[in-house]
Amino acid sequence: MGDDSTTDGEAPTRRTFLTYGGALAAAGLVAGCSSEGDAGATPEETPASTESDPATRDAVTPTETPTPAETAAETSNRSGDGGYSVTMEPVGTVEFDAVPQSIAPFTADYIDMLVALGHGDAVESIWYRGRYKTLHYEELDGVSMDLDGLTQLWADGVPKEPFYEMDADLHLIDPHALTDWFQAWSQSDLEEVRENVAPFVGNVVFRRTDEWHDYRYYSLYEAFEKVAAIVQERERFEAIRAMHDDLVATVQSRLPAPDDRPNAALVFAGEEPEEFSPYRLSGNGANKEHFRTLGIADAFADTGVDGLSTSDTGTIDYETMLEVDPDSLLLRYHEEGKTREEFEASVLDYLRDHELGSQLTAVQEERVFRGGPIYAGPLHNLFMIERYAKAYFPEEFTEDRLFDRDELARIVTEGVDESGEGEQ
């Protein structure tokens, strides 16, 4: 996907529309980098086994969130010659002479942002295809993504060769994902690919749990706004944000009182679980924003159970789960290609028949749900708010749909007219 027809002789000219600001270049590629990974080293956990996926690590790290005015002020600035710049930590300011036509993301939350902004055709890559959930596109007329057409960057590590082969205009990747999360590249590797291929910009937003993430964290819509500035799609961004804000307002106006809402234990577990890997609902992370919208409390709060993180990959057993006894269970690894009915016939039936699992309140009251995607972008988020509102509060949300799929599809595929609505 994206233009792969450019010859080597044309590449330097095409690259001129993306440059780092002078101050950034002097400071280095990764601002505030706390450690360097060894080149060629593999992550502590690999996607070959879903029980040890590095994407599953999480814990709680509080952070301050800037105001919308502060975010907008630093997002995009135009220069006198028609160019523009976008500032996003940890890299800093990147200057653009034109909208990048081919973009290499790492995680699926950023791909979902590009799809939402009508730039899905620019997407070149994904770190691991199995972590990109796309079923929600089937409900949006004209919206799709060819997973097979994406370059998978994971291959027992993250080699540099695919970056040269893609020859993308921009790497929509937090450099720390390569140096610290996967510990696959050194600082010199980053500099090499930046100089020879294209700049990096991005921020790990699906979680905020790692000690190396000591720079600013962006919420889902703060990061989405940055991506909109990169591809110059302010109107689409505002239209989707308006849909999101309307959905949030509608849902929250109909929620039961806080004391009447169940808490939840978000965990990773297999088809026939005998242990669980906790993933805390509290704290920052784009893949948990829909649960916070619904006011679902973290069942592990004040229990002494920590969430998965780079330094804690532990599990808990049924005895510990019974001590916590959550009102509901959210089980991850059961998302793609499995309907609610199939989930009940496999995982839930297993829990019902389990000597200890059957004693859990969540199982007895049939509040056991699939946990949702690990990397949730803005389109995911709309569907997840609706899905969990209906799952947790079926008496309050009886309608089939809580937002307009046709309107959303028009915004994505056709843009926004002068009235601010999807073009007809």
What HEC string does the chain produce? Answer: CCCCCCCCCCHHHHHCCEEECHHHHHHCCCCCCCCCCCCCCCCCCCCCCHHHCHHHCCCCCCCCCCCHHHHHHHHEEECCCCCEEEEECCCEEEEECCCCCCEEECCHHHHHHHHHCCCHHHECEECCHHHCCCHHHHHCCCCCCCHHHCEECCCCCCCCHHHHHHCCCEEECCHHHHHHHCCCCCHHHHHHHHHHCCCECCCCCCCCCCCCCCCCCCCHHHHHHHHHHHCCCHHHHHHHHHHHHHHHHHHHHCCCCHHHCCCEEEEECCCCCCCEEECCCCCCCHHHHHHHHCCCCECCCCCCCCCCECCECCCECHHHHHHHCCCCEEEECCCCCCCHHHHHHHHHHHHHHCCCHHHCHHHHCCCEEECCCCCCCHHHHHHHHHHHHHHHCCCCCCCCCCCCHHHHHHHHHHCECCCCCECC
156, 182 contact by CB (below 8 A): no
Q: How far apart are the first and last CA of the chain?
A: 27
Please tell me whether residues 66 and 25 are part of one structural domain: yes
In a domain, 419, yes or no: no
Please tell me whether residues 77 and 149 are part of one structural domain: yes
Please tell me whether residues 96 and 119 are part of one structural domain: yes
Of the candidates 234, 259, 280, which is a domain's last residue?
A: 234
Amino acid at 89: E
Please tell me whether residues 83 and 207 are part of one structural domain: yes
Instruction: State residue 7's pLDDT score.
Output: 32
Range of the domain at 349: 246-410
Please tell me whether residues 263 and 147 are part of one structural domain: no
d(CA 268, CA 52): 10
Sign of CA dihedral 53, 54, 55, 58: positive
Please tell me whether residues 133 and 264 are part of one structural domain: no
Please tell me whether residues 250 and 348 are part of one structural domain: yes
Query: Which CATH number covers residue 353?
Result: 3.40.50.1980
Amino acid at 250: T
| Geometric angle at alpha carbon 66, from 181 and 290, rounded to 5° | 65
In a domain, 418, yes or no: no
Please tell me whether residues 291 and 319 are part of one structural domain: yes
In a domain, 379, yes or no: yes
In a domain, 239, yes or no: no
Instruction: Give the residue carrying structure tokens 């691991």.
Output: 128
Please tell me whether residues 159 and 191 are part of one structural domain: yes
In a domain, 88, yes or no: yes
d(CA 124, CA 133): 16
Please tell me whether residues 314 and 211 are part of one structural domain: no
Of the candidates 234, 256, 283, which is a domain's last residue?
A: 234
Task: Using DSSP bridges, classify how beta strands 151-152 and 92-96 pair: parallel, antiparallel or unpaired.
Answer: unpaired
- The count of C-alpha atoms lying within 13 angstroms of the C-alpha of 91, restricted to the half-sphere facing its C-beta, is 29
In a domain, 186, yes or no: yes
Please tell me whether residues 279 and 390 are part of one structural domain: yes
* Tally of domains in the chain: 2
d(CA 49, CA 42): 14
In a domain, 217, yes or no: yes
In a domain, 58, yes or no: yes
d(CA 416, CA 424): 9
Of the candidates 176, 201, 234, which is a domain's last residue?
A: 234
Task: Using DSSP bridges, classify how beta strands 18-20 and 103-105 pair: parallel, antiparallel or unpaired.
Answer: unpaired
Measure Cα distances from 416 to 411, 413, 420, 424 in Å. Answer: 6, 9, 6, 9
194, 200 contact by CB (below 8 A): yes
Please tell me whether residues 267 and 186 are part of one structural domain: no
Q: Which string of b and e fits 272-311 if b means at least 16 CB within 10 Å?
A: ebebbbbbbbbbbbbbbbbbebbbbbbbbeeeebbbbbbe
Sign of CA dihedral 259, 257, 263, 54: negative
Collect the ranges in the chain with pLDDT lower than 50. 1-73, 424
